[in-house]
Amino acid sequence: MSSRRDFLKATGGLVLASGGSWMASHAHGADATMGPAELPEGTLSSSILEALPGKVPLIKKSWRPPNYETPISYFNEEFTPNNAFYVRYHLSNIPEVAAASWRLKIGGEAVATPLELTLDNLKTNYEQVEIAAVNQCSGNRRGMFLPHVSGVEWGLGAMGNAKWKGARLKDVLNKAGLKKEALEIVFDGADSGTFPATPDFVKSIPVWKALDENTLIAWQMNGDALPHWNGFPARIVVPGWTGTYWMKHVTSINAVTKAFDGFWVKSAYRIPRGKFPIVDRFISQETDVNTPITEIVVNSLITNIVNGQKVGVGQPFEIKGIAWDGGYGIARVEVSTDGGQWWRAATLGQDYGRFSFRQWTFIANPTERGTMTVMAKATNRAGATQTFELIANPAGYHHNVVQRVSLSVA
């Protein structure tokens, strides 16, 4: 019989306060890609696949708080399975919220009639809408910045695409009597820090974004209830904007008349002003030097081939991938098989909406032995395209450099 000491040794002592304990099953990724070569050496060497309850094995970045990345193979599907969807938390105490006891309080000085909703209220008292949208961590690909910057060293998989269903946030705010003086809408969730000095994870968005018809209080994901690790029983969905605003386990929504001054808005998740082609601005939170990160920049990912893979000369093969942006929609994806000298159009897959992944395919036909360097770049309908060089910023956000995959042709 295994002893408690044996158990702790095998699991690395992995126990998390979550209204009960959880234990993760471990699987070293001998047959999985742990991430691109640009990741810091320590990150790659320590990477393992680990399965949280209800999840398939994901690439573990940290366990307290839990941060787990989706392996690239799952992005060969239009929609990322719920059990493979990445996990991102800032705080370690994550309670198991019961649907029956969950309450969502709507208040603040900029509403006339504060409300308190149950999950049944949310489902039955408001029109239910469904939208396909990418949820991407602001720091996706941070680990690929050179020189490296601090933070979770994410590779390519701190994102996922899902169909989100729920009530429009604007309908709930209007029911509460949103006042014309409202400037920002503030969200808080059920998770909390281990130490009193840890800033609670509270976020705000400008009132105009809260009133956008696509911003939701969602309770369903890909046709099922939200998984615990992705915000059960309800979360905020802000299509087109990075995941920092998609508050999980949401418990309060407050309309305020002044700029919110919480740490996670005022100090964190900010980018230098004027460096990125951003249209959606959070003006009430801007300073002379920086501004909150908002919309996702245009990007693409090759999903079915990896560096060093062998292909045959004169043997056509399919290259697959996805492209996405902040909601303008993908206009085209171009592929090069000679390191960027010549580009040809890829074939775009079904359009599930402007906030969704857009699949693409390209048939390559190697004609010479040696190294084939495959590249893919996406352009959106606003005319923005991926970059060829990193745009430096302290937090390592918005990495959308054109990807390169080197194949061996024999």
Q: What is the CATH number of the domain that holds 339?
A: 2.60.40.650
Q: Is the pLDDT of residue 8 over 90?
A: no
For residues 27 and 46, give the distance between their C-alpha atoms in angstroms, rounded to a whole number.
12
**What is Dmax (Cα atoms) for the chain?**
71
Question: Is the residue at 146 inside a domain?
Answer: yes
Q: 44: pLDDT confidence band, cut at 50, 70 and 90?
A: confident
Question: Is the residue at 348 inside a domain?
Answer: yes
Q: Is the pLDDT of residue 15 over 70?
A: no
Q: 101-130 b/e with 16+ CB inside 10 Å = b?
A: ebebebbbebbeeebebbbeebbeebeeee
Query: Which pLDDT value is given to residue 396?
Result: 97
Look at residues 258, 292, 326 and tell me which one is the last residue of a structural domain. Answer: 292
Question: Is the residue at 342 inside a domain?
Answer: yes
Question: Is the residue at 365 inside a domain?
Answer: yes
Same domain, 280 and 319: no
Q: What is the pLDDT of residues 140-172, one digit of tens each?
A: 999 999 999 999 999 999 999 999 999 999 999
Query: Which pLDDT value is given to residue 47?
Result: 86
For residues 95 and 369, give the distance between their C-alpha atoms in angstroms, rounded to a whole number.
56
| Residue ranges making up the domain that contains 160 | 104-292
Q: Comparing 193-197, 215-219, 319-323, 366-370, which segment has the lowest mean pLDDT?
A: 193-197
Query: Which pLDDT value is given to residue 308?
Result: 94
Judge contact between 206 and 173, C-beta under 8 A: no
Same domain, 223 and 242: yes
Strands 270-272 and 290-292 come out as antiparallel
Same domain, 246 and 352: no
The domain spanning residue 209 has which CATH number? 3.90.420.10
Q: What is the pLDDT of residues 269-308, one digit of tens each?
A: 999 999 999 999 999 999 999 999 999 999 999 999 999 9
Same domain, 250 and 335: no
Average pLDDT on 208-235 reads 98
Same domain, 190 and 284: yes
Average pLDDT on 80-109 reads 98
Q: 42: pLDDT confidence band, cut at 50, 70 and 90?
A: confident
Q: Which residues are paired to 134 by β-bridges?
A: 161
First to last CA, the chain: 52
Question: Is the residue at 223 inside a domain?
Answer: yes
Q: What is the DSSP string of 280-341?
A: S--GGG--SSEEE--BPPPEEEE-S--TT-EE-TT--EEEEEEEE-SSS-EEEEEEESSSSS
Same domain, 44 and 177: no
Same domain, 58 and 140: no
Query: Which amino acid type is present at position 402?
Result: V
Q: What is the pLDDT of residues 364-408, one digit of tens each?
A: 999 999 999 999 999 999 999 999 999 999 999 999 999 999 999
Q: 124: pLDDT confidence band, cut at 50, 70 and 90?
A: very high
- DSSP character at residue 110: T
Judge contact between 257 and 195, C-beta under 8 A: no
Same domain, 195 and 225: yes
**Phi/psi of residue 242, each to 5°?**
-65, 160
Same domain, 241 and 285: yes
Query: Which pLDDT value is given to residue 33?
Result: 74
Number of H helices, E strands in the chain: 6, 26
Question: Nearest to residue 231, comparing CAs of 213, 253, 211, 246?
Answer: 246
Q: Any idea which residue has 């509270």 for tokens?
A: 202
Q: What is the pLDDT of residues 187-203, one digit of tens each?
A: 999 999 999 899 999 99
Could you give the number of structural domains in the chain? 3
Question: Is the residue at 137 inside a domain?
Answer: yes
List the Cα angle 189/193/197 in 5-degree steps: 120
Question: Is the residue at 11 inside a domain?
Answer: yes
Judge contact between 154 and 258, C-beta under 8 A: no
Same domain, 109 and 176: yes
Judge contact between 169 and 205, C-beta under 8 A: no
Same domain, 19 and 41: yes
For 389, the token pair is 């060089």
Query: Which pLDDT value is given to residue 175?
Result: 98
Judge contact between 295 and 262, C-beta under 8 A: no
Average pLDDT on 42-50 reads 88
What's the whole-number average pLDDT of the chain?
A: 92
Q: What is the pLDDT of residues 277-286, one digit of tens each?
A: 999 999 999 9
Strands 235-237 and 250-256 come out as unpaired
Helix, strand, coil % in the chain, rounded to nearest 5 = 15, 35, 55
